[in-house]
Amino acid sequence: MIRVVLFDLGSTLIYFDASWLEVIPRATLALCDTLRQHGLNLPREEFANRFQQRMFEYYRQRETEFIEYTTQRILRDLLAESGLNSISPSLLRRALDDFYATTQAHWRVEEDTHPTLTRLLEQGYRLGLISNASDALDVHTLVDKAALRNYFEQILISAEVGIRKPHPRIFRLALDFFGVSPPQAVMVGDTLGADVLGAHQIGMRSIWITRRADTPDNRDHLDTIQPSAVVSSLAEIPPLLAAWSSSSVDSPA
What would the pLDDT profile of 98-149 be if each residue is shown by its tens digit?
999 999 999 999 999 999 999 999 999 999 999 999 999 999 999 999 999 9
What would the pLDDT profile of 188-245 be if each residue is shown by its tens digit?
999 999 999 999 999 999 999 999 999 999 999 999 999 999 999 999 999 999 999 9
DSSP E strands: which ranges in the chain? 4-7, 14-16, 107-109, 126-131, 154-157, 185-189, 205-209, 229-231
Count of residues making up the chain: 253
Residue 51's Cβ-side half-sphere holds a number of Cα atoms within 13 Å equal to 32
Check residue 163 and give its pLDDT.
Answer: 95
Other beta carbons less than 10 A from residue 35's beta carbon? 24
pLDDT at 166 over 80: yes
Cα–Cα distance measured from residue 229 to residue 208, given in angstroms and rounded to the nearest whole number: 6
Check residue 248 and give its pLDDT.
Answer: 55
- Residues 4, 185 contacting (CB under 8 angstroms): yes
Cα 17 off chain centre by: 16
Phi, psi of 75 (to 5 degrees): -65, -45
What would the pLDDT profile of 35-74 be if each residue is shown by its tens digit?
999 999 999 999 999 999 999 998 888 777 788 989 999 9
* DSSP 8-state secondary structure symbol assigned to residue 196: I
pTM of the model: 0.94
